[in-house]
Structure 1
Amino acid sequence: MKKVCFLSTDNLEGYEIDDDLAIGPLHDRGWHVETVPWKEKIDWAEFDAVVIRTPWDYHHTPGQFIATLETIAGSGVTLENSIELVKWNIEKTYLRSLEARGVRTVPTIYPQSVVEPKAIRQWKDRLQTEELVLKPTISATAGNTFLVSEFTDELKVLNGSRFMVQPFMESIGTEGEFSLFFFDGEFSHAILKTPKKGDFRVQEDFGGQNKSIEPDDEMLGFGCGVLKELPETPLYARVDFVHDNKNKPVLMELELIEPALYFRYDEEAAESFARKFCERNEL
């Protein structure tokens, strides 16, 4: 039986994870799964493949994380997703390249300056909005993400690092954020994530709620169109988007590194993931 590593982190306490739902389907297809923290010093060549799954602390030391992935890829092991895709996706400036290729994205500024009262006013004018969202270009789970209408001292934490500025998309509060999941380029399932009352963050960590949905043709076409702009087809991809003030989908993020895949919201999702993995890594 071949071995596949689900790359993870040292401590997943408090997280709801459903990657285990894929272990049975993979075993039935001749693959033994082991979950290993990405910082562990092991011989990665003992595996036939490594799938990046829950290394949800990588954003604290992204250089070390990339170095580990390079070591894995250099050992001759199949890495999913590829090191090339991870390097491209690790910083949210990838949104610029997708926008340049015609993908509708949330308008974004990547400042070279520090956060200060004057800058907040300028960014609001430029984006024609009363509320801004500021966050690091390398982040996870809404860490150091702020919704503001004016300068506050807490924003100073962003100074000295690369960050981005976006208008607050009102549909997040009125409708929510959609996530489409694709395995090897094939649509699998979709969910709608909504923030708790009084918050703007849709993550479950902050009280957000999820539900399974069936995307309409426009949503599905948008997600497929985003993936078509990639140089290669990833094993897994999550397309996160909201609707703008014209009710058109606009990309929030394209998650290609360690997205939660929410297998539990679709009874066929884990099976589809395992099938596509095996098709790409035939015994």
Structure 2
Amino acid sequence: MRIALVKCSKWDADKDIVLLQNYLDSEGHKVSVPAWTDDISWQDFDRIYISSCWDYYLNIPAYKNWLKHLKGLAPKTLTFNAPDVILWNLHKELYLKELENRDVRIVPTQVITNAEEIESKLNSFYVAQSHYDDFVVKPSISASSYKTNSISSEKLISEAPAHICEILEDTPVLVQPLISDIRKNGEISLVFIDGEFCHAIVKTPQSGEFRCQSSFGGKAEHFQPSEELTETAKQILDKLPFEPPLYARIDGVETADGFLLMEVELNEPYLFLEHNPDTLKTLARCLVGSTNRS
């Protein structure tokens, strides 16, 4: 089988891709690692696995057009996750509210879509969430904490508008309280393959930082979730408006009041395959054997 494990042109292949490529090679498949921006004949592949297109947010229209092109290649060439699933997942401002309406507990979120509503929405959100010390302002479509800033509650009204206006040039804006439990206990990522839980990771920021990515000094470690937490994540997955996709990562934080969803990662999430060889084998088997999910 001819398989493309797709990355971005900006970086070399990450650990997930290297491990998956080596395993698929050992199983006799012909594996390539193109960038999503490469000018190649995508129809020449049997499977396209969207792994680490981590610069997509820099050219969102081109990325969406590429996904729509891949959709048109089915059923001969199957893409995972399915283009329609990824297109749904791109817009945090839409899917978080959709899941909240389906009784999923999310981190409190205010969506700002234009400059005219900044003052009124910031003021109302500040009043409703005034018990938090800090807030996070970020793009609704982004990756790797791009243009994501924290700001103290006393400066939210006076200083956040300038940053919000900058982000609005490209995408709607999310304003959320900074959940202090992240600094103490970390952000939990639960990985699902084909709808089944496989393993979990806890990502903790370095001292004085709120972002958990390794590029900001964060670290990731294997985490054993409780049965209750695993079931909560599975319930979130079951509330998606489509069948469980090939891969999914449920990101959130455990608080005294329970688990709060931060993101559902269905578009090029890092799956931390080095932490569980069984997940790698399950992913490879399902990728090769899956039919299209849309």
Fold match (TM-score > 0.5): yes
Q: What does 1:53-64 align with in structure 2 at a 5 Å threshold?
A: 53-64=51-62
Deviation at residue 137 of structure 1 after TM alignment: 0.5
CA RMSD in angstroms, aligned pairs only: 2.0
Q: Which moved more, 1:55-64 or 1:146-155?
A: 146-155
Q: Does 1:66 align with 2:56?
A: no
Deviation at residue 121 of structure 1 after TM alignment: 4.5
For 1:233, the equivalent position in structure 2 comes to 244
8 A Cα contact 2:110 2:121, kept in partner: no
Aligned residues: 279
Deviations 1:205-230 (A, max 9, x none): 10001100111111101111111012
CA distance in 1, matches of 2:287, 2:14: 23
CA distance in 1, matches of 2:286, 2:53: 22
Deviation at residue 24 of structure 1 after TM alignment: 3.0
Q: Does 1:198 align with 2:198?
A: no
Percent identity reads: 31
Q: Which moved more, 1:257-266 or 1:271-280?
A: 271-280
8 A Cα contact 1:136 1:162, kept in partner: yes
Q: Which moved more, 1:21-30 or 1:125-134?
A: 21-30
- The counterpart of 2:223, out of the listed 184, 200, 213, is 213
For 2:139, the equivalent position in structure 1 comes to 136
For 1:123, the equivalent position in structure 2 comes to 125
CA distance in 2, matches of 1:112, 1:8: 30
For 1:95, the equivalent position in structure 2 comes to 96
For 1:186, the equivalent position in structure 2 comes to 196
Q: Does 1:244 align with 2:242?
A: no
Deviations 1:132-170 (A, max 9, x none): 111010010001111112133555422434101111111
Deviation at residue 71 of structure 1 after TM alignment: 1.2
Q: Does 1:261 align with 2:284?
A: no
For 2:85, the equivalent position in structure 1 comes to 85
Deviation at residue 174 of structure 1 after TM alignment: 0.9
Q: Which moved more, 1:38-47 or 1:120-129?
A: 120-129
TM-score (norm 1): 0.92
- The counterpart of 2:149, out of the listed 138, 146, 150, is 146
CA distance in 2, matches of 1:183, 1:37: 23
For structure 1, which runs of at least 5 residues remain unmatched after alignment?
Answer: none
Q: What secondary structure, in the 3-state scheme, does the structure 2 residue paired with 1:187 have? A: strand
- The residue type paired with residue 17 of structure 1 is K
CA distance in 2, matches of 1:188, 1:222: 14
8 A Cα contact 1:124 1:131, kept in partner: no
8 A Cα contact 2:186 2:203, kept in partner: yes
CA distance in 2, matches of 1:146, 1:64: 26
CA separation of 1:126 and 1:113: change in aligned 2, threshold 3 A: farther
Q: Does 1:33 align with 2:31?
A: yes
In proportion to residue count, which structure has more helix?
A: 2
For 1:105, the equivalent position in structure 2 comes to 106
For structure 2, which runs of at least 5 residues remain unmatched after alignment?
Answer: none
- The residue type paired with residue 41 of structure 2 is D
CA separation of 1:185 and 1:271: change in aligned 2, threshold 3 A: same
Q: What secondary structure, in the 3-state scheme, does the structure 2 residue paired with 1:278 have? A: helix
Q: What secondary structure, in the 3-state scheme, does the structure 1 residue paired with 2:249 have? A: strand
Q: What secondary structure, in the 3-state scheme, does the structure 2 residue paired with 1:218 have? A: helix
Q: What does 1:5-20 align with in structure 2 at a 5 Å threshold?
A: 5-12=4-11, 16-20=14-18
Q: What secondary structure, in the 3-state scheme, does the structure 2 residue paired with 1:251 have? A: strand
TM-score (norm 2): 0.89
